[in-house]
Amino acid sequence: MDPSILAVLIGALVVAMIVLLYLAFSKGADEAVSDRLDTLVKGNLRKESSADMLLKQAIQESDKQSLLDRITPEMLNLTKWFEQADANIKPSALFGISLGLAVFGAALSIWLVNLYILPVGAIVFFALPWMWLYMKRANRLKKFAAQLPDAMELVARALRAGHSLASGIHCVAEEMPAPISREFSRVYDEQNLGIALEDALKGMCDRVPNLDLRFFVTSVAIQRQTGGDLAEILERIGHIIRERFKILGQVQALTAEGRLSGIVLIAMPIGLFLMMLWMKPDYISLLWTDDMGKKMSIGAIILVLIGAYAIKKIIDIKV
């Protein structure tokens, strides 16, 4: 590729990414209205940052079905994924950034290696923002699960002190850090606006896919219908969650060798392929130019996927 054309292409990509980032993180015109509503609803709760306001605006626009929601499967709700990840960026903006990175990866592949590696570079760079979203969502859900036992015990202590369940939820929203404080704060705001507490808790379960949280919501629904000591139930749930985390830590320690072996076995053929592609591309080009090489490449990819799935099934122990 001509160096001048490559320079112009990279410059256009940089300008496009700057424009997309500006559109993604620019403040909307409804922020003042949101501030006034939060003042009326939240009262003395902690004021949300501008990033939280942007997240609310992105979530509130879910009523307008975007192009991404139309082309993606119904089981994969991108709006819910962004909400669970607490990503302060719109899905359309992230998709635009992914396209820009894909073009950049394709140009970089042509410049550094050759034309044959163009699809690999484009796919890898396109997947980077979505990998970031996946990891951010997983870390947030993991942090929520770790905070849940403390929240259960805090609600239980509030109930034993004579407070109502709504007051206990308010205590969690006030005293505990994010992300659990934001979810419980939203539940408290919804029940203040007239939504039934059970419905607000079910909405939190829909936003946060956590089995222990479903136990909490189910116990609250049963207690409000039949009665009982809810504080004792919440303390037992918190104790069970802590014991499960303890067992999970032991399982992680026992399966560390298997996980490391899986990483090495999967990364080794990929690393060798990239090294040979860099050192002697003519030698390894037989894998996609020769008929036998194509069959060997497809067979190798299938075997690597089967091996990764088998190792995952061995080390993935449900607790």
Residue type, 168: G
8 A C-beta contact, residue 312 and residue 304: no
142-239: CATH, from 3.30.530, 1.25.10, 1.20.81, 3.90.79? 1.20.81
Q: Is the pLDDT of residue 46 over 80?
A: no
What whole-number distance in Å separates Cα of residue 88 and Cα of residue 84? 11
Q: What is the pLDDT of residue 10?
A: 61
Q: CA separation (Å) from 219 to 152, 198, 210, 229, 234?
A: 12, 10, 15, 10, 8
Q: What is the pLDDT of residue 95?
A: 86
Angle at Cα 279 formed by Cα 276 and Cα 281, nearest 5°? 70
Q: What pLDDT, in 10s, does the model give residues 178-237?
A: 889 999 999 999 988 888 888 898 888 888 888 888 888 888 888 888 877 888 888 888
Q: What is the pLDDT of residue 314?
A: 84
Check residue 85 and give left, alpha or beta (phi > 0: left; psi -120 to 50: alpha). alpha
Q: What pLDDT, in 10s, does the model give residues 150-187?
A: 999 999 999 988 888 888 899 999 989 888 999 999 99
What whole-number distance in Å separates Cα of residue 140 and Cα of residue 130? 15
- Which has the closest alpha carbon to 293: 302, 284, 281, 304? 284
Q: What is the pLDDT of residue 139?
A: 92
8 A C-beta contact, residue 92 and residue 5: no
Please list, in sequence order, all residues whose beta carbon lies within 8 angstroms of the beta carbon of residue 157, skipping any fewer than 6 positions away.
231
What whole-number distance in Å separates Cα of residue 19 and Cα of residue 4? 23
Q: What pLDDT, in 10s, does the model give residues 111-156?
A: 766 666 778 778 888 989 889 999 999 999 999 988 999 999 999 9
Q: How many CB atoms are closer than 10 A to CB 217?
A: 18
Four-residue CA torsion sign, 272, 276, 282, 283: negative
Q: What is the pLDDT of residue 219?
A: 86
Q: 28 by DSSP, 3-state: which?
A: coil
What whole-number distance in Å separates Cα of residue 1 and Cα of residue 184? 55
Q: What is the pLDDT of residue 111?
A: 76
Q: Is the pLDDT of residue 14 over 70?
A: no
Cis amide leading into 281 (omega within 30): no
> Which residue intervals of the chain bear CATH 1.20.81?
142-239
How many residues are listed for the chain in this entry? 319
What whole-number distance in Å separates Cα of residue 33 and Cα of residue 39? 10
pTM of this prediction?
A: 0.67
For residue 61, the 8-state DSSP code is G
What whole-number distance in Å separates Cα of residue 158 and Cα of residue 164? 8
What whole-number distance in Å separates Cα of residue 42 and Cα of residue 259? 45
Q: What pLDDT band is residue 59 in, cutting at 50, 70 and 90?
A: very low
What whole-number distance in Å separates Cα of residue 102 and Cα of residue 204? 35
